[in-house]
Amino acid sequence: MTARILVVDDIPANVKLLEVRLLAEYFEVLTASNGADAIEICEAGKIDVVLLDIMMPGMDGFEVCRRLKLDPATAHIPVVMVTALDQVADRIRGLEAGADDFLTKPVNDLQLMTRVKSLVRLKTLTDELRLRASTTRNIGIEEMLSRKQADADQPKILLVDEKPVSVERLTNMLGSAFAIDAVADPHKGFFDAAEGDYDCVVVATGFRDFDPLRLCSQLRSLDRTRFLPIVLIANEGEEDRILRGLELGINDYLVRPIEQQELTARLKTQARRKRYNDQLRASVTETMEMAVIDGLTGLHNRRYLDSHLQTLFDRSVARRRPLSVMMTDIDHFKAVNDKWGHDGGDRVLREFAGRLRKNVRGIDLACRYGGEEFAVVMPDTEAHIAEKVAERIRAEIASAPFVVAGDGTAIEVTVSVGVSSLKPYGDGVEALMKRADVALYEAKSGGRNRVVAKAA
């Protein structure tokens, strides 16, 4: 996982230690020895996570964090406070300053890396949403995002815990700060999370006949709950389960015995981040739906692709990250229209778009390029991975017939796919798209219902 990490500490030995650990995991590392430099770097550069020491001369870590979180231009950057302070009051003060996490020195390598990777995944999502909002020229995005939620709008929490004593204790701790729904059955908890408008799901360990990480995994696999924050409440001695949970995508955890103020602060952090991303999604939807969404399929249209692809391309070049493009064409689509009319053809296009959407990631950009042609832009995707994705989509399209009439009549449909990837040097958007188009032509002229990946 490639990301840019800023390490802030006034002691060179501490900086070097973290730098070596991060470089070993192939992260790009920047360093700062004071708070002013850290803020300047965050404002000027594309930082994915900040590892911030607290005890520094001049401006301490609490103040640095507070300033970063108050500035809409840097508020979305995750901040992990790494410090020798181990008092609960210090953790709470850090979380209330806006920190996304708090690690005590000496830091366990596994814990550090899983935390960083988890926050990088969240930052990637936020970056994509901000990028799409920017693409739609939503000039007021920073002002909109800087507006605070109404005080009366309590975060809504779903607590999944089968032990009544634990439920009562946690509910009492959260008091009037949250609106809490508690369920004992994890299966019911899954459906409630999917159907309810929750800001966070709190999952406790200790079920008699159920692995709580299975619920976490299920929540991450469902579209409706994929980005819903999950906090794990664990017992002492469950470090392996916690680490596994972080790998699965939980956002945070606490170990019993739980301190009330820390629990409250951590849940407020998760709710704040979720609402930030929700605002981004709403902004994107409101400003671009009519202009850049294809009305038939619900995918982005070519107008959006032409604008957004250049931004994605420039970002990949600047960060030296891979980028792949997939062009698809429904085979013999004219014959479908000729035989079943435009209503039948529209049914095929809508179903094709639905299957395409299910087989790409949230950060991928799927568009209707025109007619029966579709394009998918895949950030951070190497050529061989993109080819596998293309083959999976081709197989998915061919796996089941498409309904073309109201009486349920269905026909076989196949698709030809061309794939291209960003060259290390001297590439451009037009050349990238041209290679994908040439690969698509080769797939069609070579017999259709196949994938051709154009070598860089």
Q: pLDDT for 240-253, tens place per residue?
A: 999 899 888 898 88
Give the list of residues 6+ apart from residue 248 with CB closer than 8 angstroms, or none.
213, 216, 217, 220
pLDDT reading at 174 higher than 70 = yes
> Residue 200: enclosing H or E segment and its boundaries?
strand 200-204
pLDDT band at 278 (very low <50, low <70, confident <90, very high): confident
- Which tokens in the block code for residue 335? 């014959």
pLDDT reading at 343 higher than 90 = yes
Helical pair 260-292 and 109-135, crossing angle rounded to 10 deg: 30
Average pLDDT value for the chain: 89
Which residues belong to the active site? 372
The CA angle 356-361-363, to the nearest 5 degrees, is 120
pTM: 0.56
Whole-number percent of the chain with pLDDT over 90: 64
Give CA separation, 151 vs 5, 75, 96, 155, 177, in Å: 34, 19, 16, 10, 10
Beta strands in 228-333 (DSSP E): 230-234, 252-255, 323-330
On whether the CB atoms of residues 83 and 58 are closer than 8 A, the answer is: no
On whether the CB atoms of residues 404 and 344 are closer than 8 A, the answer is: yes
pLDDT reading at 142 higher than 70 = no
Say if residue 445 is exposed, middle or buried (CB neighbours under 10 Å; 0-12, 13-18, 19+): exposed
Comparing CA positions, the residue from 251, 410, 437 lying closest to residue 326 is 437
The CA angle 363-194-191, to the nearest 5 degrees, is 140
- Stretch 193-212: mean pLDDT, rounded? 94
DSSP-assigned beta bridge partners for residue 83: 104
pLDDT reading at 153 higher than 80 = no
On whether the CB atoms of residues 331 and 320 are closer than 8 A, the answer is: no
* Boundaries of every domain in the chain: 4-135, 156-286, 293-453
The CA distance from 249 to 121, in Å, is 9
The CA distance from 125 to 278, in Å, is 11
Give the pLDDT score at 165.
95
Domain 4-135 matches domain 156-286 at the CATH topology level: yes
DSSP letters of 90-107? Answer: HHHHHHHTT-SEEEESSP
Helical pair 302-319 and 109-135, crossing angle rounded to 10 deg: 140
Say if residue 275 is exposed, middle or buried (CB neighbours under 10 Å; 0-12, 13-18, 19+): middle
The CA distance from 372 to 416, in Å, is 11
The CA distance from 454 to 456, in Å, is 6
Helical pair 302-319 and 429-445, crossing angle rounded to 10 deg: 120
Give the pLDDT score at 152.
46
Beta strands in 274-433 (DSSP E): 323-330, 365-370, 373-379, 402-403, 410-411, 415-421
Give the list of residues 6+ apart from residue 445 with CB closer than 8 angstroms, or none.
none
- Which tokens in the block code for residue 162? 């089968």
pLDDT reading at 102 higher than 90 = no
Give the pLDDT score at 175.
78
The CA distance from 9 to 6, in Å, is 10
**The CATH fold of domain 156-286:** Rossmann fold (3.40.50)
Give the pLDDT score at 150.
42
The CATH superfamily label for domain 4-135 reads Response regulator (3.40.50.2300)
The tally of CA atoms less than 13 A away on the side-chain side of residue 435 is 17
CATH number of 293-453: 3.30.70.270
Pick the range with the lowest mean pLDDT from 19-28, 133-142, 362-371, 414-423.
133-142
- Which tokens in the block code for residue 60? 């301490």
Residues making up the chain, counted from first to last: 456
On whether the CB atoms of residues 120 and 89 are closer than 8 A, the answer is: no
- Which tokens in the block code for residue 142? 């920073």
pLDDT band at 291 (very low <50, low <70, confident <90, very high): confident
Give the pLDDT score at 131.
76
Give the list of residues 6+ apart from residue 202 with CB closer than 8 angstroms, or none.
157, 158, 159, 160, 161, 170, 230, 231, 233, 267
